[in-house]
Structure 1
């Protein structure tokens, strides 16, 4: 039986046991699923002494899993969020990357791109959750309790939509096109009253003229817990020290982009979340509701300045404050005893190459065009008319223009082999996987298993490239990223708080696939764990 058929049958069988699941007598009225984009686990240990808000509450009163890691290799926002919401690997839920080459449109498109839908509430991206091939927690909640309400709010469209799933009441995100909160016509054809009222406030515009200044008055703490402020390699050498100004003026997209991808943007997500709680009347009745939130400030700051920068430290402390306010509001409106909270991250991040080099690591940058240029040269050497054989380079992975190659008599197998050899010769790559490699018999290699968990044949890249550890695809000094199978991209927090959840530190391995099934068990909704996942029994005692 194929893996995909097995999961389909499992879903069908699960429907038959919905009525047999019995909720806990102290089942919460509201489940809050929090995703912090790019939150490395070590942020919690490095800044533990400084936390006074939400992280302090989670660490002191919550269940903390210290050995939680992503179990897939392509560690990006979209597959991470989809894995958290569905409790399934990308190999099952079908979301393998943030972007994909779609032959239907002949271009790169975003993970949740859907031209059949439109933004509602303002101008924004055309998106929907139709890409999901597995049921999200909210979908399963709706199947068990049709009266339950499911809402997601996030900085990014893909984060909101992939957390919400297909049956949600609404998925809302901050649009850089209008500086407002929007949803998709997939969920609602008209903006609900609360959304219209929220956008009238023009909250984003109120940040015009603001500068990002250090959160703590004692600047010596930044030198103690982070590195010096003017570190080489940060943000391409532009504005590497505090304070930081937002570019542009409202209603410029440049201004909204900087705001919504900064430490200040998380404030708007919090305000939108509180408005959504009231607008959708979450937690107001006996049916359990679900609120999923994703904050992206850590991600943008991490990309620009690296995880050991003063900016990253400041962002984490600001987020601690934001989460503290959120928990206080939840306690006042619903009561934390009637709320179950889970917090995790979609991925980690590689430290700046310049930082690693000072630590004695063999860290390197290499230019973005190195891999696709090498592949095109190799194929054109054998087939001079091939031209641009690479249709889309999704660093560090390759999509071929298969139609073009076929018209020239170049088989996919030949293109893959020529490309594989050319990429290996660059010296920056550890291994390359073709579809045939990941569809064949498993070798038992731990890294290969991670790539198999990331592999979904209809959408995966044609050449899946594992770059060497501590290497980054961008020669320009500055910025960093994620997407590798290494621990710096995979080790993230998993924490639970509220209701009857016990507090403590737990060192047994855990993964993103475990979060949703564990929350489902707390509210009595059937959601079997992934085949290599588990229910986190530590929080169910």
Structure 2
């Protein structure tokens, strides 16, 4: 009996001293980094991977986890919705940012997703840049208050008792304010009229001293008198993308022209913002943002202690270039090649200032982009530029159908939504649901229309067999959306006024497909082809930082992304 007890004790000791076969839980990183490349379509990383240099996209896709089949699950794929969905982990129907702007029936006007009449820009607002949504909306200050769910930034703050720092930077105000959440330590974007980086009184009454010093150096001015030409002279741009001069391309901002090289100086010397618009609509806007980010990492001491910090960067210039010249252009190839170098430079800075192996980085995009219809038609696709839901035509149809009333039938339109006027419906003595249904049937017969959804049908619930309808439902929030949603066919652009350039905002694959790459400590390298959503980013970075995911997050961490944790 004593022998058995001795053997048992020896066996127990051996088990306790034996090497653990389960991987140790990795130390949490000092810094988590969220990188958006605005309008970086999901196929670009594979399409041009052989042309990338060392240390950038190759590094993160080889040494990190590359999810090649990543798609947004909702229909209205625009900048604000994408930034908010990635940061919160939920869809627009839940977080409430249903577009870059929308019509607010309560105040009787269109509101910007981050616009705030209660706050002011710091320093004060001047002339606008090229971002049309900012022109329509945030004339004064900025705040994240229209975002109804917490972000990864808020999760970091909550999980660290406020000790973790949050820095959110972009050229676009919404690209900084939405991921930055309710209480970032640093939140800045570029004023399109001055080239200065600005904030809002929502955050602080004066810019940080290090930002003031950065602005004083006038960093946006260094491209004066220069040209944007091709980054690489050793590769065949036409073979890798397309001809330099493509029907349907625009001339960029401020008359940059359709072909390389593109000037930065405006043809009209009185057009003061034109130079800055040209910088924004070129790869060099991204360089400008990274210059600021490098200053922020040092000045704010990001990643200097064991409390995890968050750095959110949204590189906006890819979006401006893609809108102007289209995804099959030499310009988009060039900005993508230069984005690879942006990533290398960012990783080098993080290695030097935070430490290799001491951070986790997630890269994604807020949406993709539709090819130029002119390019699609050459490929044999059915494609066109149309505007089937012009308010004037809709108004004429409803007047013919139900009669004229003191109030117009169409109160407003915003994006794919038409907002019916309740006063007209009441005055005509008809039911709202009937008007929606009649209008939907009429619109469904217009050129270029794929489908039409109504408020009544979306509220009742979309059948699970209607996959596209479910995507529309995920973009629908009753108090912010209109009454009739018009969905165009694939490869159709939603305006006849936009006779050049392209846009996004559909549930079609070219708009929903974006990259998702996760790199850093504890990440299991590998290429994944299973379908995932970029909404998983919120849970991914929360897990990496060792904090709970934002309360609204529904997309889980993909299986096998991180090394196994000790139970």
Matches within 5 A, 1:203-352: 203-218=219-234, 221-235=236-250, 239-246=257-264, 247=266, 252-352=272-372
For 1:367-386, what aligned pairs fall within 5 Å after superposition?
367=387, 370-381=389-400, 382-385=402-405
CA RMSD of aligned residues (A): 2.2
Distance 1:177 1:462, change over 3 A: farther
| Deviation sequence 1:199-256 (CA, Å, 0-9, x none) | 11111122222221111123x5101201110111111697211011233669822332
Farther off after superposition, 372-381 or 78-87: 372-381
User: CA distance change for structure 1 residues 280 and 161 in 2, over 3 Å: closer, same or farther?
Assistant: same
Match of 2:538 in 1: 516
Q: d(CA) in 2 for partners of 1:278 and 1:474?
A: 45
Closer, same or farther: CA 102–528 of 1 in aligned 2, 3 Å: closer
CA distance in 2, matches of 1:99, 1:376: 22
In structure 2, the CA distance between the partners of 1:205 and 1:391, relative to structure 1 (3 Å rule), is farther
Aligned residue among 176, 190, 198 for 1:182: 198
Structure 1 alignment gaps of length 5 or more: 1-22
Secondary structure of residue in 2 paired with 1:497: strand
2:430 and 2:114 map into 1 onto residues whose CA distance is 32
Look up the match of 1:162.
Answer: 178
- Residue deviations 1:355-412 (CA, integer Å, cap 9, x gap): 1101110111114x75323311112222224564333332432123445655665654
The equivalent of 1:451 in structure 2 is 472
CA distances 1:123-153 after superposition (whole Å, capped 9, x unpaired): 2642100011111011111111111101100
Rg (Cα) greater in structure: 2
CA gap 1:426/1:519 in 2 versus in 1, 3 angstroms: same
TM-score, normalization: structure 1?
Answer: 0.91
Residues 78-105 of structure 1 deviation map (CA, whole Å, 9 limit, x = unaligned): 0100000001111111000011112344
Matches within 5 A, 1:129-140: 129-140=144-155
2:218 maps to what in 1?
202
**Paired residues of 1:121 and 1:195 also in contact (CA < 8 A):** no
Q: What SS is found at the alignment partner of 1:33?
A: strand
- Misfit runs of 4+, over 4 Å: 248-251, 403-411, 528-532
Rounded Cα–Cα distance in structure 2 between residues aligned with 1:250 and 1:493: 40
Distance 1:235 1:386, change over 3 A: farther
Q: Does 1:473 align with 2:499?
A: no
**Does 2:518 align with 1:500?**
no
Q: Is the deviation greater in 334-343 or in 208-217? A: 208-217
TM-superposition CA deviations, 1:41-88 (whole Å, max 9, x none): 111111111101421211221110011110111101001000000011
Instruction: Give how far 1:464 is off.
Output: 1.4
Please give the secondary structure, in 1, of the residue aligned with 2:231: coil
Aligned residue-pair number? 517
SS in 2 for 1:79: helix
- State the alpha-carbon separation in 1 of the partners of residues 553 and 189 from structure 2: 32
1:463 aligns with 2:484: yes
**TM-score scaled to structure 2, two decimals?**
0.87
- Residue number among 104, 115, 127 corresponding to 2:142 in the alignment: 127
Match of 1:355 among 354, 371, 375: 375
> How far does residue 326 in structure 1 lie from its aligned partner after superposition?
0.9
Q: Per-residue deviation at 1:423?
A: 1.5
Change (3 A) 1:410 1:201: farther
| CA distance in 2 between partners of 1:59 and 1:358 (Å) | 33
Once structures 1 and 2 are overlaid, which stretch shifts more, 77-86 or 410-419?
410-419
Q: Which residue of 2 aligns with 1:69?
A: 71
> In the aligned structure 2, how far is the partner of 1:250 from the partner of 1:38?
31
Change (3 A) 1:457 1:66: same
Q: Is the 8 Å Cα contact of residues 87 and 516 (structure 1) preserved in structure 2? A: yes
Aligned to 1:171: 187
